[in-house]
């Protein structure tokens, strides 16, 4: 249950320094049991949201230096504009209702905040991953509240999403590709007067 690989993906992969998160409220949607935000000691609040959070706490996550909230992404129990940064790593294709999840991401991210997304795209639906996500539809569904600042799609390697990104085999025309791959995008929440 190691978690030392996470910091790179929340920072360097997206061109961010850890100091970016200084005194910020950060939220990881579908955080899993490994303490995905333990690295972010500079943040003012580190929240992992997962409908299995109570189980994770029983399995030992209670020892992590972050807060776990047991709730679905379709109904995030946080206030409007409460988060400076929201993350969904390998979880958006697992949610029950993508439209409601995106609506909640828009609601809880403050203007000027960011949303970082890593997710498998263009794969046939399965019981655990019931959505066939397309890059152009993802980008469009986050508008007008979010502008996409960085977008890549990586070809898969056997070891999974994180190793595929590190292998750096990028697909050309990532927003329109229909190849199976791993979508990586940084979105910025535009200020209210621009929406």
Instruction: At 149, list the tokens.
Output: 């600042």
Tens-digit pLDDT profile for the chain (195 aa)?
578 889 999 999 999 999 999 999 999 999 999 999 999 999 999 999 999 999 999 999 999 999 999 999 999 999 999 999 999 999 999 999 999 999 999 999 999 999 999 999 999 988 989 999 999 999 999 999 999 999 999 999 998 999 999 999 999 999 999 999 999 999 999 986 544
Handedness of CA 124, 129, 135, 140 (dihedral sign): positive
Other C-beta atoms within 10 Å of 180: how many? 15
pLDDT at position 97, please? 96
pLDDT at position 4, please? 85
**48 membership: H or E segment, kind and range:** strand 45-49
Which has the closest alpha carbon to 36: 62, 5, 60, 13? 5
- Contact partners, residue 177, CB within 8 Å, separation at least 6: 121, 122, 135, 153, 171
Instruction: At 43, list the tokens.
Output: 């943040």
- Contact partners, residue 188, CB within 8 Å, separation at least 6: 112, 113, 114, 115, 146, 147, 149
Domains of the chain are: 6-190 (3.40.50.150)
- Angle, CA of 175, 28 and 186, to the nearest 5°: 25
């Amino acid at each position: 249950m190691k978690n030392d690989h996470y910091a790179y993906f929340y920072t360097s992969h997206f061109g961010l320094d850890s100091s970016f998160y200084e005194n910020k409220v950060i939220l990881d949607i579908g955080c899993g049991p490994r303490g995905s935000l333990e690295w972010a000691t500079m943040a003012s609040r580190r929240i992992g949201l997962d409908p299995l959070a109570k189980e994770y706490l029983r399995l030992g996550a209670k020892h992590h230096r972050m807060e776990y909230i047991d709730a679905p992404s379709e109904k995030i129990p946080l206030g409007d504009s409460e988060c400076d940064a929201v993350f969904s790593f390998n979880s958006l294709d697992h949610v029950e209702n993508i439209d409601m999840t995106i609506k909640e991401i828009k609601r809880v991210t403050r203007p000027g905040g960011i949303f970082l997304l890593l997710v498998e795209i263009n794969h046939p639906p399965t019981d655990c991953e019931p959505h066939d996500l397309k890059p152009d539809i993802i980008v469009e569904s986050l508008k007008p509240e979010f502008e996409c600042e960085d977008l890549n799609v990586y070809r898969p390697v056997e070891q999974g999403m994180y190793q595929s990104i590190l292998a750096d085999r990028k697909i050309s025309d990532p927003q329109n590709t229909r190849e199976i791959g791993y979508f990586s995008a940084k979105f910025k929440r535009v200020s209210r007067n621009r929406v």
